[in-house]
Amino acid sequence: MAKDKERYQFPNPQVGTAAEKIKRRRLQVLVHSCLYYEMNETLIEDDQYDHWCKELVQLMKDNPDAYSDRFDHWFRTFSGETGYHLPLRDEWVYNKALQLLAGER
């Protein structure tokens, strides 16, 4: 495992801002896409995932420069239709999905 100083630190936007909501939705979409496409598991209903995707697309459209992290490349063309193309095997994403699964069992 990487040392703490070598681990990526996500930006921490102020709570309640568009940036914070974009960050939250991006990470939710990444992790739940990983659960679905990589692990064949679901923890949320499809309607919830679709709602998050639509909200994220609108937030990014309305606030294009509000939030930036190492996943920017993957979300530039994100339409909300699928999370299949996202970096689902990214170490952080995959480990977070495993943590969620462990908490559900």
Q: How many CB atoms lie within 10 A of CB 75?
A: 19
pLDDT (tens digit, 9 = 90+) per residue, 26-36? Answer: 999 999 999 99
Taking the domains of the chain in order of start, what are their residue ranges?
16-104
pLDDT for the residue 104 = 73
User: ∠ at Cα 38 (53, 28), nearest 5°?
Assistant: 30
Task: Determine the Cα–Cα distance for residues 77 and 74; give it in Å rounded to an integer.
Answer: 7
To the nearest 10°, report the CA torsion of 66, 69, 75, 80: -70
Output the pLDDT for position 1.
Answer: 44
105 residues of the chain, pLDDT tens digit each: 445 446 789 999 999 999 999 999 999 999 999 999 999 999 999 999 999 999 999 999 999 999 999 999 999 999 999 999 999 999 999 999 999 999 975
